[in-house]
Amino acid sequence: MLLIPAAWVAIQGSRPVSYWFGGGGSESSAEANPINTIVFALLIVSAVVVLRKRNLDWGALVRANRALFLIYFYLALSAAWSELPVVTLKRLIKDFGAVLVALVFLTEADPGAAVRAVYVRVAYLLFPLSVVFIKLFPDIGRQANRAGDNMFTGITTQKNSLGEMAFVVGLVILWDLVEIYRGESRPGKKFQLAVRAGLLLMGLWLIRTCDSQTSMLCLTLGSLVFFGCARVVRMRHGKRVLITVLSVTIGLAALDKTFNLSEVVIKALGRNPTLTGRTDIWRLVLDAKTDPLHGAGFYTFWDSSRGKAIIEAFMRINEAHNGYLEMYIDGGIVGDILLVLMLLAAGGKVINDLFAGAPLGKIGLIFWFLPIVYNFSETSFFRLDVLWFTFVLVALKMPPRARQEVAIGVSAGLPLPAAAAGAG
């Protein structure tokens, strides 16, 4: 059953399936290619069949995740005012596939072991191939940017996508390495640790090579959060301390908006204060004047005449490079309010998981916090990529009743494969 999430993560962390069969690798060509449509349909249908066999209680699941399902419902309604309603619904169904596939993970006997097993095995494929493509097959692993310089993309379609894949998968590998290190001694343990360490170094090299400063920042912050959480959990008032730190972080973000504190950090990272042209993109997107209340409809702005004008101004740019702005043009102020409510609900869930010792508690806070940071300069919310999928994975709450029903389904012949019982 883990083949379903493994295929999903591998596809989101690389290129459209159609590319490997001679089809287009761009967003627009991939959208129209029947190969990709068939692959996504098979994965989504397969996930639904598995969840049906595992007796998932959908009513209890929806009630436990009201904020997430509410924003999906609102984005589905946006088809009513979208210029391309069929495209809106099609893309939203594909995106909702992330929820269905994540539930396959969460209904396993040991979700933590299943996630570690799948992400590490996906890294065996994506990391070495990215290095090989960059080094030996430049027609695949490199592209020319607007300035005519080499942009290293590896197995992905864009340098920022390569950086995102490397830091997301890399952080799960770090988690796996620590779990193996702290586990019982067994034959081959040192070799497993060496393999994980090698994968981490390979991922770090990919991030440095593709020169994605946002991804390097996320990898650093994610590592700090991972090791910091271990200390916070042991504190007497750890939850209170954690909530205080998060509140201070939000306060600093508000001060930054007022006094431009991030300009110092941006210059220290070797970037110009305009975030490499991002502020120009944001200005043009806001000048397009989509409906401020409900937006232009889910994921269709870039197919409109206003969106195409921005694409022509910035070659190959078809996103706002800001997830919150992207939600604004998709769903307006209502969409952003629902997004914030979803993030708050997910934040409460991952904090409780962390202190309760839940299977994904050790990485839940990381992949709740990092998308919030990442989406200030890139777009990931409600987009088919590995960061959004991992966020959905840690944000979904399995209610007690749903867990009980799933346990019956698993005991009826759907256990975690022995090979995935431990990521080692």
Residue 312: pLDDT over 70: no
Distance CA 360, CA 147 (A): 42
331: its two tokens = 């769903």
Q: What is the pTM of this model?
A: 0.86
Distance CA 364, CA 349 (A): 9
Three-class SS string for the chain? CCHHHHHHHHHHCCCCHHHHHCCCCCHHHHHHCHHHHHHHHHHHHHHHHHHHHCCCCHHHHHHHCHHHHHHHHHHHHHHHCCCCHHHHHHHHHHHHHHHHHHHHHHCCCCHHHHHHHHHHHHHHHHHHHHHHHHHHCHHHHEEECCCCCEEECCCCCCHHHHHHHHHHHHHHHHHHHHHHHHCCCCCCHHHHHHHHHHHHHHHHHHHHHHCCHHHHHHHHHHHHHHHHHHHHHHCCCHHHHHHHHHHHHHHHHHHHHHHCCHHHHHHHCCCCCCCCCHHHHHHHHHHCCCCCCCCCCCCCHHHCHHHHHHHHHCCCCCCCCCHHHHHHHHHHHHHHHHHHHHHHHHHHHHHHHHHHCCCCHHHHHHHHHHHHHHCCCCCCCCCCCHHHHHHHHHHCCCCHHHHHHHHHHHHCCCCCCHHHCCCC
Q: At what angle do helices 66-77 and 85-106 cross, to 10 degrees?
A: 160
Q: What are phi and psi of 222, to 5 degrees?
A: -65, -40
Whether 419 has a pLDDT exceeding 80, the answer reads no
Give the model's pLDDT for residue 144.
72
CA distance 319 to 282: 10
Residues 214-268: tens digit of each pLDDT: 888 889 989 998 888 878 888 877 778 887 877 777 667 656 544 555 655 555 5
Q: Tell me which of 54-58, 299-303, 349-353 is least confident.
A: 299-303
End-to-end Cα distance, the chain: 18
Give Cα 176 to chain centroid, integer Å: 18
| Angle, CA of 272, 278 and 284, to the nearest 5° | 135
Q: What percent of the chain has pLDDT over 90?
A: 42
Q: What is the pLDDT of residue 97?
A: 94
pLDDT tens, residue by residue, 10-63: 999 998 888 888 765 554 444 567 888 899 999 999 999 999 999 989 999 999
Contact status, residue 67 vs residue 345, Cβ threshold 8 Å: yes
Radius of gyration for the chain, computed over Cα atoms and rounded to the nearest angstrom: 21
pLDDT band of residue 318 (cuts 50, 70, 90) is low
Give the pLDDT confidence score for residue 388 in this predicted structure: 95
Contact 377, 321 (CB under 8 A): yes
Above 60 in pLDDT, residue 412?
no
* Residues 88 and 79: beta-carbon distance below 8 Å: yes
Mean pLDDT for 328-332 is 90
Higher-pLDDT residue of 98 and 160 is 98
191/87 Cα distance (integer angstroms): 48
Confidence (pLDDT) at 104: 94
Greatest mean pLDDT range, 195-199, 276-280, 400-404: 195-199
- Among residues 378, 330, 254, the alpha carbon closest in space to that of 92 is found at 330
> How many CB atoms sit inside 10 A of residue 359's CB?
19
Reported as a single tens digit per residue, the pLDDT across 358-392 is 889 889 999 999 998 888 878 889 998 999 999 99
Q: For 169-213, how does the pLDDT look when each residue is reduced to its tens digit (9 = 90+)?
A: 999 999 999 999 888 888 888 999 999 999 999 999 999 998 888
Residue 104: CA atoms inside 13 Å, Cβ hemisphere, count? 23
Q: What is the pLDDT at residue 422?
A: 43
CA 40 to chain centre: 17
Token pair of 141 as six digits: 């692993």
Domain boundary assignment for the chain = 3-417
